[in-house]
Amino acid sequence: MRKNVRLWLAGLLWLASCGIAQAADAILVVKGNIGAFNDVARREYRFSEQDLLKLPQRTIQTKTTWTPKSAFSGPAIKDILRAAGARGSEIDVVTYDDYKVTLPISDLARYDPIMARFLNGKPLERRDFGPLWVMYPVSDFSELQKVKSDAKLAWQVRYIVVR
């Protein structure tokens, strides 16, 4: 019995060391086709704000339909997916108001969008597009400067589903 308890506790400590945030601490959840191929136990990867800040941070200077040219900062979406062990050809980004947009994985290589946590150095809040906003370098690519591309700039992101 003691051996089982020790193994159970060791497993919990291992999970805690993997950067899996508790439900209350999670600022972003990644679900779907994630984890190691033989890791059937992991159904979602929870990122705390600290977990996201540990990833390499990027800044995109761009304007959007809703903002003048501004500095958006946060980790690259490809780095978030890599940390979660994602495997797939597209992702669904879902917001707090259940808006959903599907992004092809090919966008991550072509445009290197970020999951912005900061706008002009200030943390995004729910009342102003936060806590997370998918941001592409809109000003750098003419094809992204179309109304149709605005749909990719999901704000108030709650979770990602990898397919």
Calpha distance 94→44 (Å, rounded): 14
pLDDT tens track for 9-28: 444 444 444 445 556 789 99
Average per-residue pLDDT for the chain: 88
Mean pLDDT of 69-97: 97
Domains of the chain (ranges plus CATH)?
20-162 (3.90.420.10)
Residue 42 confidence class, pLDDT cut points 50, 70, 90: low
pLDDT tens track for 102-152: 999 999 999 999 999 999 999 999 999 999 999 999 999 999 999 899 999
- Judging by DSSP bridges, how do beta strands 157-162 and 26-32 pair with one another? parallel
Find the radius of gyration of the CA atoms of the chain: 17
Q: Tell me the backbone φ, ψ of residue 152, rounded to 5 degrees.
A: -75, -20
Beta carbons within 10 angstroms of residue 87's beta carbon:
15
Calpha distance 39→37 (Å, rounded): 6
Residue 43 confidence class, pLDDT cut points 50, 70, 90: confident
